[in-house]
Structure 1
C-alpha cells in the first residue's frame, strides 16, 4: 500500500467516514478512492489528494511522502505552493503542467 493510500484509509476510519461518504463529500469516484487505498492505483494526482485532504481536515503533506521525510510541498517556497494549489483548484492537470514546462524549456532554448 502506498503511503498516501495507507494514510487516507487510516484517517478516513479515524474520522468515521465510510468509503462512500468520503468519496461523495470529496467529489471523487468511490472506486478510484478504493483503488488508492488498496494500492491498485499507486500514483494519485495532487488534485485528487487535495480534495481528499480537505475533506479529511488534513493537509496534502500529511498524506504523501515518507513518515520521517519532509514532504516535497514543505520544501517549496510558500508563494510557489500557493500558486500550485490555485492552479490545481482551477483544474490544471499534471499533463497540462508538463506541457507548459516543456513549452517554457522549448521557448528558452529557441530564443537564444
Structure 2
C-alpha cells in the first residue's frame, strides 16, 4: 500500500475469485473527477476544444505565479508553495518508478481464504 501511494504504481491483485487493481486514493479521486467532468456532453466538448486550442498554439499559457494570482489573489503564495511541493514530489516518484519498473504495473498473486 505504501508503494502504491508513494510511487503511484497500480498493483494488480489476482485470485481465483477474479482480479482487482489497487490504486492510491489520489489516483482514484483523479479518475472520478475526470469521469465526472466528461460525463456532461457540453462540458466534455468544451474541455476537448480547450485542449485542441492549447495543442494548436491558440491557448493562453500562464506561469504558476500568474495562475496563482488570477485564481487566489492574495493567497497565491500559499498556492504556489503547495503546487511546487506536489509537483516536485510527483516528478521524483515518477522518475524513480520509470527507472525501477520500466513503467509497468506490478502483479501480486494472492490466495483468497474462503470462510465456511
**Whose RCO is larger (CA < 8 A, sep 6+)?**
2
TM-score, shorter chain, exceeding 0.5: no
Which has more radius of gyration? 2
Q: Normalising to structure 2: TM-score of the pair?
A: 0.21
Q: Normalising to structure 1: TM-score of the pair?
A: 0.22
